[in-house]
């Protein structure tokens, strides 16, 4: 098999480019309404959230500042290790700020639950979460998430920022992997 044929690695498309763009616009409109009277700092969680952060920010009309954090709990596998490491911290002082964490996916919830507690300890005025995808059946902890793009089945997905062993992030759609890729 040609190892450069990305399509051959995919089982099916979950959300097309057009569907994702539409849903991100809707989330941006909702966030704009909720933050109409407040400036918001959106915090993208590297690397997975790069695509959704870029599209969401461009679809928003409110005053927005942006910062990035890198945490990792997955390494190269398909299971969360549960151990969250900060690889890159924020440059912004969160004191008194309205913070919106932007994520590509909530799977076990371990990353976000840890991250939300971490950011709350820095004295912000508020911390909310926006995630494009969430897997309700995979939840190991309960987290309050204000904005969710789609609830999806408990399958490993790639594309639009989401990787498997660092690949597939650049797809403009979201799909599931064929078993031969990870088995
Ligand atoms: O709910 P959880 O089970 O904790 O999983 C979700 C987290 O896992 C992924 O990040 P990853 O650690 O793979 O880093 P990446 O964004 O650089 O791919 C994803 O982007 C979330 O941050
Ligand atoms: O389903 C997933 N795909 C890619 N990265 C992930 N990180 C947590 N869950 C996933
Ligand atoms: Mg990853």
Query: Which residue lies with its CA nearest to atom 20 of ligand 1?
Result: 48
CATH architecture group of domain 6-176 = 3-Layer(aba) Sandwich (3.40)
> pLDDT (tens digit, 9 = 90+) per residue, 138-154?
999 999 999 999 999 99
Q: Which atom of ligand 1 is nearest to the CA of 111?
A: 4
- The model carries a pTM of 0.94
pLDDT, residue 81, reads 63
The 3-class secondary structure across the chain, one letter per residue, is: CCCCCHHHHEEEEEECHHHHHHHHHHHHHHHHHHCCCCCEEEEEEECCCHHHHHHHHHHCCCCEEEEEEEEECCCCCCCCCCCCEEEECCCCCCCCCEEEEEEEEECCCHHHHHHHHHHHCCCCCEEEEEEEEECHHHCCCCCCCCEEEEECCCCCEEECCECECCECCCCCCEEEECHHHHC
Name residues with Cβ closer than 5 Å to ligand 3, which is an ion.
74, 163
């Amino acid at each position: 098999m040609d190892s450069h044929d990305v399509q051959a690695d995919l089982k099916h498309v979950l959300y097309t480019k057009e569907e994702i763009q539409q849903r991100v616009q809707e989330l941006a409109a909702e966030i704009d309404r909720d933050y109409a009277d407040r400036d918001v700092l959106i915090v993208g969680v590297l690397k997975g959230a790069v695509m959704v952060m870029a599209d969401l920010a461009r679809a928003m009309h409110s005053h927005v500042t942006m910062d990035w954090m890198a945490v990792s709990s997955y390494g190269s596998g398909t299971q969360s290790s549960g151990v969250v490491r900060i690889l890159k911290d924020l440059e912004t002082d969160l004191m008194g700020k309205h913070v919106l964490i932007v994520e590509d996916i909530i799977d076990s919830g371990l990353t976000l639950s840890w991250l939300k507690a971490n950011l709350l300890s820095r004295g912000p005025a508020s911390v909310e979460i926006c995630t494009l995808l969430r897997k309700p059946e995979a939840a190991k902890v309960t987290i309050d998430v204000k904005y969710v793009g789609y609830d999806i089945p408990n399958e490993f997905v790639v594309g639009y920022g989401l990787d498997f062993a660092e690949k597939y992030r650049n797809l403009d759609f979201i799909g599931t992997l064929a078993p031969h890729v990870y088995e």
